[in-house]
């Protein structure tokens, strides 16, 4: 634990009932996830937590209850999966039931669920984008604007779950921009409200949600073309955020497998144990009789196969993970891939 994280943990634990603190690198910044034991969303001390982090602007923090984190992990929320990777833990409260929220064995199935969860939400945004293109080609401007609005909103909400753990339930695109700005500045600056052309577009796209259905609404084709280009940017940035975290989790799983492979030497160690058991050198003393020797050998072989089984399970998870990464790359809904 570095000095800054140690200071942050010390200060936060002093004012909140904290169960876990995780710190994780992401896109040149450091994310911090604070989990509390409170049954409801912890609001009382959030201003004090904000004051602590104001001294460290390079850190991006989120505060949730432990119950929320566990629920979101089960539902495939990639933000929590990435944040709670083994190795990111900085603090564990004295009364916690487990030293970490995640074990290595849980990573593969949860990562698979996280991929499916993101694809489901992202593909809905892509579908509305395609619907907008259909109406635009048919010359129907108001339905095009409505479809674009829905695509913007769904894309932002998918991105918010990825980078902040919770989506903003709101229909105003400008509000979504402000909500995500500190965590992903590019997504918070797609529209520049201080510039008149962007302010006009933002006003038009926000009006589309209600007025296309319930009132008169007008928008020009060239304005829709600009909006479609901005939507393409939001979709690309959202997918980039997903891939960034997905591959970080994949890399974390690979590293764990490599470390365990280095630590696990079943065959050489079994031979060394036999030599020790038979009194040919080693730490163990020879056993007293043939039956004791038989039982000792049986126990060592049993332990050996348990170690091999554990190594094979990790290997199976890694092989399956590579296959799922390939599925992600081949998914036609994911249109933007990093260079």
pTM (2 d.p.): 0.78
Alpha helices in the chain (DSSP H): 3-15, 46-53, 66-75, 78-83, 104-137, 141-164, 173-180, 196-214, 221-263, 266-277, 290-330
Q: Tokens 């119950």 map to which residue?
A: 67
pLDDT one-digit tens code per residue, 281-291 = 444 444 455 66
pLDDT one-digit tens code per residue, 162-173 = 999 999 999 999
CA distance 247 to 337: 12
CA distance 20 to 9: 10
CA distance 234 to 279: 69
H/E stretch holding 29 reads strand 29-36
pLDDT one-digit tens code per residue, 143-157 = 999 999 999 999 999
Going from N- to C-terminal start, the domains of the chain cover 3-102, 106-244
Over range 49-78, report the average pLDDT. 92
Average pLDDT, the chain: 83
Please tell me which residue, 187 or 250, carries the higher pLDDT value.
Answer: 187
Return the axis-axis angle of helices 141-164 and 104-137, rounded to nearest 10°.
170
Say yes or no: do domains 3-102 and 106-244 share a fold.
no
Residues composing the chain: 339
Q: In this predicted structure, which of 134-148, 182-196, 246-260, 321-335 has the lowest mean pLDDT?
A: 321-335
Residue partners of 231: CB distance under 8 A and separation at least 6: 129, 132, 148, 151, 152, 155
Which homologous superfamily is 106-244 in?
A: Nucleotidyltransferases  domain 2 (1.20.120.330)
Return the axis-axis angle of helices 141-164 and 221-263, rounded to nearest 10°.
20
pLDDT at 97 over 70: yes
CA distance 171 to 210: 10
What CATH number does the domain located at 3-102 have?
A: 3.30.460
Could you tell me what percent of the chain has a pLDDT over 70?
74
CA-nearest of 202, 240, 235, 214 to 133 is 235
CA distance 102 to 9: 20
């Amino acid at each position: 634990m570095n000095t800054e994280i140690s200071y942050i943990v010390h200060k936060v634990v002093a004012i909140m009932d904290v169960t876990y603190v995780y710190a994780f690198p992401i896109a040149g910044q450091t994310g911090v996830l604070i989990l509390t034991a409170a049954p409801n969303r912890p609001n009382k001390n959030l201003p004090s937590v904000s004051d602590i982090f104001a001294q460290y602007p390079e850190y991006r923090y989120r505060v949730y209850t432990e119950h929320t984190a566990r629920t979101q992990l089960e539902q495939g929320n990639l933000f929590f999966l990435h944040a709670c990777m083994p190795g990111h833990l900085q603090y564990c409260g004295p009364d916690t039931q487990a030293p970490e929220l995640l074990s290595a064995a849980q990573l593969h199935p949860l990562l698979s669920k996280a991929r499916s969860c993101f694809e489901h939400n992202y593909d809905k945004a892509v579908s509305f984008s395609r619907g907008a293109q259909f109406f635009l080609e048919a010359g129907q401007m108001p339905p095009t604007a409505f479809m674009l609005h829905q695509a913007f909103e769904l894309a932002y909400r998918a991105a918010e779950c990825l980078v902040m753990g919770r989506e903003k339930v709101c229909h105003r695109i400008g509000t979504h921009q402000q909500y995500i700005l500190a965590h992903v500045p590019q997504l918070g600056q797609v529209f520049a409200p201080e510039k008149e052309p962007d302010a006009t577009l933002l006003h038009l796209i926000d009006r589309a949600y209600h007025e296309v259905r319930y009132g008169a609404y007008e928008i020009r084709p060239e304005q829709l073309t600009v909006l479609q280009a901005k939507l393409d940017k939001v979709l690309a940035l959202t997918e980039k955020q997903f891939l960034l975290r997905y591959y970080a989790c994949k890399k974390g799983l690979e590293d764990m497998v490599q470390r365990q492979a280095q630590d696990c030497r079943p065959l050489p160690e079994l031979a060394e144990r036999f030599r020790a058991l038979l009194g040919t050198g080693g730490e163990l003393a020879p056993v007293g009789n043939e039956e004791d020797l038989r039982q000792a050998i049986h126990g060592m072989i049993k332990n050996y196969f348990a170690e091999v089984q554990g190594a094979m399970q990790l290997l199976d998870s890694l092989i399956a993970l590579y296959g799922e990464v390939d599925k992600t790359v081949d998914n036609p809904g994911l249109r933007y891939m990093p260079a």
